[in-house]
A and B are shown apart, each in its own frame.
Chain A
Amino acid sequence: MMEAVKAAASAGLRLAWTAVTSPAARVAAVPRLARACTTIPSKYDERDPAPLFFDPNVQEILKRVTGRNYDKIFRRRYDEKRLSPPKYEFLTDEELGELREEMEKKAETLLQMPPVVKQREPILDVLSRDPALVGFDTCRYIFTDITYGVTDRKRFIVVRDADGTLRQASWEERDRMNQIYNPQPGRKIRSHRVFEEENLKNVLDREEYEFVLDLACAQFEPDDPEYQRVTGRVYETLEARRCYQILHSTRHYGPLCFYLTWNKKIDNLLTTLIQQEMLSEGADIVRLYYLIHPDSKSAGHHVDLSLPLETIKAYMEQDSLQRAKLQLAIQAYQEIVQQRHQCQEDVKAAHGL
């Protein structure tokens, strides 16, 4: 345990802390937020995030920030499948290179980010009103077009109400019918009870963030208000507890960064990244901030790619909301770098170089 802590301490202070403490301790360490998270998650219901999210520059930044820890990406999946014994192969260098490239492509597919889109508007389209049909039956009839080759989003689903109105089915009815006639794996017709407030709080206290996010992706569409509520809640909890690195190297890190940048809450994220000495990621986040909010004060400044610390400092001076903490973190980092440099110089001098 001590070796792990020492290794973690050399990697960064934050890692050392997570190595030593348990989830319960981390939750309790943020005393004012150890009870239910009081911030209401914001939803994408005014401005449409889709043009920004699917922009190639933004996508490139988010993919770069996500990280490529292959041990985590290709970890064992506990999904009730039959286990197979591991394969050992002898390969030449070229074959090894080819296999590595294949695995990198596979990692890219596994890290595909769930789309970030605006919340959907309710469907109120009425096709015809036939009051002559009142009393034809006691229940509604839902007609679903199950033609092969039609995607779920473009399927025709119409409802004949008991009062004779023929209308397009609402989003809830559409989801239910699509799941009945075209079932998706991992999705239930009646939503999981995890997404209810009490159970969600329980799961988040046990720090099972990836589980909830994966389940939300499987169960809901990205424009479903429920999906945005659940994911917003998870992101707010992560922001409150400062444990962003749990989602590092997963498909959810990109949308998390996008959400925080959209809502101008990147200060804690930047502080955490500086403490872990991941300055290039910090600079990428600042660049993302300028792409999403081009009307911010420091956006016009020339962004120098080779000096990530300068980018972060420029952001901090102009637009930061928690300037003091960020400044402290930068100062601490600079001191550590200086001390390390000094140490190396001393070692060299001692060796007589």
Chain B
Amino acid sequence: MLTGLLRAGVGGRQLIQGWQRGVSLSAARRCEATDGEEEEGRAKKEIDPAKDRTRVIPVEMSLKYLQSEAYQTAYGEDPVWKKYRRNFKGAFPPKKTRKMCIRAGVISTGNPCPICRDEYLVLDPINTNLLKQFISPHNNSILPTSITNLCRKKHRELEVSVHKARDIGLLTYDVPFRRYHYPDYYPKDTPTSTTTTTTTSSSSSSTLTPGS
């Protein structure tokens, strides 16, 4: 019961201190705690449906959303982060963005980041059209939060999705150049020939010899 109250955020520091010093709650809270289920039902806050993010949207729905008219009206041809304006005091934004916009399935901020504000944008390896918006067109790197203004949790999710998509091959990139040392695969002193019958002992034999 007490943990339930803690989770709902009622009481806060005072409740924790009360717990640590032994159960010495104030009289008012003791009445709340002893009243039972119906009190718990009423004490549970009603979440504003616009800020409710408990519903999990499947990736396929997100894929359809990106092709829909609603998306077109909302974002047009721009990437989803283009028209987002970050709020901060002073001329220069803080180096880090906020840690997360969604806490316990509820948006806990007034100006959520571009991904958190739209529940139909799901970061997944399959959703390449969304992931590509966060990748630089000049050198294929993931754009920093100073440009995209994502919260740190979503930026981490984005990085994970991009790495997974690159592993599967849905997003391509230029692989570092592999230089071969030909004598490792065919020693220089072995005679080459154009006849079909020669079977030279090639360097890629199964038994390894020390040194040479």
Contacts and interface: CB of A to CB of B under 8 A. Distances in A.
Interface in B180-211: 180-182, 184-186, 190-196, 198-200, 202-208, 210-211
Nearest to B199: A48
Contacts of B206: 120-125
Interface in A34-62: 47-48, 50-58
Q: Among the interface residues A79, A200, A208, A295, which one has the most CB atoms of the partner chain B within 10 A?
A: A79
Contacts, number: 132
A344 interface: no
A194 B200 contact: no
A168 to B, nearest CB: 7
A98 interface: no
Contacts of A114: 178, 180
A199 interface: yes
B126 to A, nearest CB: 11
B208 A51 contact: no
Interface residues on B, range: 35 or more
A81 to B, nearest CB: 6
Contacts of B196: 47, 293-295
Given A78-B140, A153-B184, A211 B172 contact: yes
B167 interface: yes
A307 B182 CA distance: 34
Interface residues of A, number: 59
Nearest to A114: B180
Contacts of B177: 110
Contact of A79 (B174, B179, B192, B202): B174
A168 B185 CA distance: 20
Interface in A174-228: 184-186, 192-194, 199-200, 202-203, 208, 211-212, 214-215, 217-218, 222-223
Interface of A: 47-48, 50-58, 77-83, 109-110, 112, 114-115, 117-118, 120-125, 151, 153-154, 156, 168, 184-186, 192-194, 199-200, 202-203, 208, 211-212, 214-215, 217-218, 222-223, 291, 293-295
12 contacts: A51-B193, A54-B192, A79-B173, A80-B173, A112-B179, A115-B185, A120-B204, A193-B169, A211-B174, A223-B185, A294-B195, A294-B196
Interface of B: 138-141, 167-170, 172-182, 184-186, 190-196, 198-200, 202-208, 210-211
Given A110-B177, A153-B204, 5 more contacts: A193-B169, A194-B168, A203-B169, A214-B174, A295-B196
